[in-house]
A = this chain, B = another copy of it.
Amino acid sequence: MKQGDLVYERLREEIVEWELAPGTHLNETRIAARLGVSRTPLREALHRLDRDGLVRISPGRGAFVSEIALGDVAHRFQLRDALESYAVRLCARADERSVFGALEADFLEWRDRFDAGAGAVDDTGYYALTSRLDAEVSQGAANPHLSDSLASVRQHLRRLRRIARRTPGRMALSAGEHARICAAVRAGAEEEAARAASEHVGNSLRHILAALGGSAVGGSAVALD
């Protein structure tokens, strides 16, 4: 594997995990030295991140970790809506859909757990489950271009999750919405699957916008558009 690829993945992780905060200036010399590579592969990585939208390159001034603006988040969720609802459509048309039945059961289980636990639930396993669903949707859609675009959007989602408060009520609702998507896909109900996905994305956006709009976040990190 090339150094440029490694640098790309590493920087992407650091941005998504908030080790590099939005707005920070990415000095090429300094970062290249920190990662132990020269500026050449680093610049390659920065350009890729720019295309992904995680970094904004201002010609002549340098690269900055992209800000999180409310309007931008909404726009990206629209893209997510378009891609995600189309992908589950394709999944619902696929031949082998039994795995979505299993996933539905798992999501229902988690929903009950959230309903009962009321906040005291450890949700790391839940995010592993949503990742499994994401992976199955990507694979079920059987379209590499669609999968790539979805993967890119999901990076932004991961970054947002770190600042969106996970309220227990929302978690239970989220699990229920996921279960509904799985059920529709499993049943081959294309329209219903797309609608369920679309509504889930919409609810997810509203939840995140509420979290961002509230003072919950570290203030300066979030530009209010």
Contacts and interface: CB of A to CB of B under 8 A. Distances in A.
B48 A51 contact: yes
B78 A146 contact: yes
**Main SS class of interface, A:** helix
B143 A78 contact: yes
Interface string A47-87: 11001010000010000000000000001101101110111
A86 to B, nearest CB: 4
A75 B146 contact: yes
A2 interface: yes
A83 to B, nearest CB: 6
A144 B2 contact: no
B90 A145 contact: no
Q: Which of A59, A82, A90 has the most CB of B within 10 A?
A: A82
Contacts of A90: 78
A47 B49 CA distance: 12
